[in-house]
Amino acid sequence: MSDMNRSFAGQMPELYDRFLVPVMFEPFAQDLANRLQGILSGHVLELAAGTGIVTRALARTLPAPVAITATDLNPAMLDQARSHAGLERVQWQEADALSLPFADQQFDHIVCQFGVMFFPDEVAAFREAMRVLRPGGRFLFSVWGNREGSVWDVVVAVVGQFLSRGPASLVSPPYNDVATVQADLAAAGFASITAEDVIQSTHTRSPREAAVSQCHGGLVRAAIDAQMPDQLDEITEAATAAIAARFGSGPVDSPLHAILFAAVRPSG
């Protein structure tokens, strides 16, 4: 996680929020928040909130009596999340998911979007989630599913060629084998574990906009800045050409798959 903090510092949180979040993360954020529709009170904890795209969806969706606490290990990402308007109800806190600074059984629900795969010890994080959940409380989190054939897949192949790196080294760890994740949740004490494939379509107005969204924010940008910062424009143009070759020269619609896991802290 310390490597992630170093990568997502300086201008990176703003770049990530501006370029990558609207294309890759926003389509899934409202879906996750909608999973909590119908709750009228209680306390929701968000782990690995990043720049707050799910936080904003929760604030729009949940009624005022529901308290929201959003956490992230990276203070720079939380600062960017706080910069958005309309989030006065949210309590922000820097927190490590493996050692949460909260009392036992403090929360009714926990959510996490595309953050679990960065935890250095998923079972330890799940045990912490279990500890701070009230009996009967739900834990909802998403990880990336199959990204083959997506814009993301095209871009990481191009960037990998420029950087002489395997594409897998440029993306988040998969952690999406359903049986493995379910076993880890069960090992932490969770029950009623389900996994659902969620498909959202990412939309950009052109291949260049799609390339910019991927190359100018997030892990790919961090890798480019670390190895070839002066070639960002060249890499972006190459990615634009590759996207156009795959999807055409007009607006780009590309499906993205996520796996949404849900688990419950037993009441007994």
* Residue 5 confidence (pLDDT) above 80: no
Place of tokens 């049986």: 179
pLDDT digits (tens, 9 = 90+) for 64-101: 999 999 999 999 999 999 999 999 999 999 999 999 99
pLDDT digits (tens, 9 = 90+) for 97-128: 999 999 999 999 999 999 999 999 999 999 99
Give pLDDT, residue 171. Answer: 81
Backbone φ, ψ for residue 200 (5° rounding) = -125, 155
Count of alpha carbons within 13 Å of 126, Cβ hemisphere only? 24
Place of tokens 């498909």: 199
* Residue 3 confidence (pLDDT) above 60: no
Split at pLDDT 50, 70, 90, the class of 41 is very high
Kindly state the tokens that stand for 65: 């009596």
**What would the mean pLDDT of 140-152 be, rounded to a whole number?**
92
Domains and CATH numbers, the chain: 2-264 (3.40.50.150)
Can you give the pTM of this predicted structure?
0.92
Cα-Cα-Cα-Cα dihedral sign, residues 128, 129, 132, 137:
negative
The pLDDT mean for the chain works out to 92
pLDDT digits (tens, 9 = 90+) for 207-243: 999 999 999 887 888 889 989 999 999 999 999 999 9
